[in-house]
Amino acid sequence: MESHGITMFTRQEITFLEEYERVMKPISNALDQLQSEKYSYLGCLLPVILNLEKSLEAVGNGLTGSLVYCRPLLVAVKAAVKTRFRAQFEERDYQLASSLHPHYKFMWTRIWDETRVPEMKELVVQEVANYLRRADPEESQPVTASQQPSVVPPSQLAYDSDDGDANMESLLRAAQNRMSTSSVTGQQAYSERARELVKTWDATPVTEIKKPLEDEAFLGNPILIDLFCQTNTGVVSSAACERFFSMGKDTLRAKRSNLSDKNFESLMFLRGNAHLWAVPGARKRRELARRPPHPVLEKLMGKCM
């Protein structure tokens, strides 16, 4: 439709664009969250996907308006998201990462499946108990001969009666029971401490996603901090890597086709940290030449301080 030389959209086209915007908006919001270098940890993936599915469900239920043209698109997007991320929801690494994130804790599990909250809590309890066991100096030290339980060798057993074999078996069985009982008792002690810590941590309010992850978010407990670092080190987006490699510029041109891996790594490292070595050198040369300060160099120097 044209009016005075200006192309105008029809009513149907405008309706289609409005519906397309409603369907795709949750996806764009999820991508923005997952591409954030500062807040996008591995533990953010499952909660963000759950929020995406919930938002798409709201669009399908007509909470933001009925769909006339884009309902097939909505159905396809929902099916694609579920197919793509169904496996991640059953992987232990992703579950631990989300459960140990102070902004989500076990809240994401309650949204996903309320019946699986005890399972996620037990998973975190086991991880904390294993951490306590590894950190225990008594567990990490090798057992010496003096610390081992004394078991009388069969050759030194005295047979005072015809039932000597039965006495030997009972002594060996008693020693084995003492060893197993001691191991079980130690494991129960770690599990109880871990269960109490996880219970206290779950009872505290979640932190804001854009608030820096401070010690207070983890109750100031180094165990929770270390486990968060171990499980949330990975990021769920390649945006940071792509941005880093975009600084390479001419490092992969034909004139450097024989560039070795080691030299390429060194070049990328130097280029990515140029503000630490190139900028101070340029500033020093300007001072020696008695030229006035350059505003860009001064701004970059401020970042180095």
Based on the fold, state whether residues 253 and 131 are members of the same structural domain.
Answer: no
Based on the fold, state whether residues 71 and 23 are members of the same structural domain.
Answer: yes
Confidence at 196, pLDDT banded by 50, 70, 90: very high
Structure confidence at residue 3 (pLDDT): 52
Based on the fold, state whether residues 300 and 205 are members of the same structural domain.
Answer: no
Examine the pLDDT at 195 and tell me if it is beyond 90.
yes
Helix (H) or strand (E) holding 116: none
Examine the pLDDT at 200 and tell me if it is beyond 50.
yes
Residues sharing a CB contact under 8 Å with residue 57, sequence separation 6 or more, in sequence order:
78
- Greatest mean pLDDT among 81-90, 145-154, 242-251: 81-90
Helix, coil or strand: residue 7: strand
Examine the pLDDT at 83 and tell me if it is beyond 90.
yes
Based on the fold, state whether residues 259 and 223 are members of the same structural domain.
Answer: no
Distance CA 125, CA 194 (A): 5
223, 132 contact by CB (below 8 A): yes
Full domain range(s) for residue 62: 2-143+193-231
Confidence at 227, pLDDT banded by 50, 70, 90: very high
Based on the fold, state whether residues 48 and 128 are members of the same structural domain.
Answer: yes
Based on the fold, state whether residues 130 and 260 are members of the same structural domain.
Answer: no
Provide the token pair at 125: 């309890």
Q: 3 - beta bridge partners?
A: 6
Of 211 and 99, more confident: 99
Distance CA 85, CA 196 (A): 32
Q: Residue 181 falls within a domain, yes or no?
A: no
Q: Residue 158 falls within a domain, yes or no?
A: no
Examine the pLDDT at 158 and tell me if it is beyond 50.
no
Based on the fold, state whether residues 257 and 119 are members of the same structural domain.
Answer: no
pTM beyond cutoff 0.75: no
Based on the fold, state whether residues 99 and 226 are members of the same structural domain.
Answer: yes
| Mean pLDDT to the nearest integer, 218-228 | 91
Examine the pLDDT at 52 and tell me if it is beyond 50.
yes
Based on the fold, state whether residues 117 and 18 are members of the same structural domain.
Answer: yes
Q: Residue 280 falls within a domain, yes or no?
A: yes
Q: What is the pLDDT of residues 248-280, one digit of tens each?
A: 565 556 666 677 788 878 877 887 777 777 777
Structure confidence at residue 154 (pLDDT): 47
Distance CA 218, CA 204 (A): 9
Closest CA to 123 of 204, 188, 195: 195
Structure confidence at residue 78 (pLDDT): 95
Structure confidence at residue 290 (pLDDT): 79
Q: What is the pLDDT of residues 91-128, one digit of tens each?
A: 999 999 999 999 999 999 999 999 999 999 999 999 99
Q: What is the pLDDT of residues 288-303, one digit of tens each?
A: 877 777 676 666 666 5
Q: Pick the last residue of a domain from 210, 231, 252.
A: 231
What is the CA 180 to chain-centroid distance, rounded?
Answer: 36
| Mean pLDDT to the nearest integer, 133-153 | 58
Structure confidence at residue 245 (pLDDT): 62
Q: Residue 178 falls within a domain, yes or no?
A: no
Confidence at 129, pLDDT banded by 50, 70, 90: very high
**Mean of all residue pLDDT scores within the chain:** 79
Based on the fold, state whether residues 226 and 249 are members of the same structural domain.
Answer: no
Residues sharing a CB contact under 8 Å with residue 204, sequence separation 6 or more, in sequence order:
219
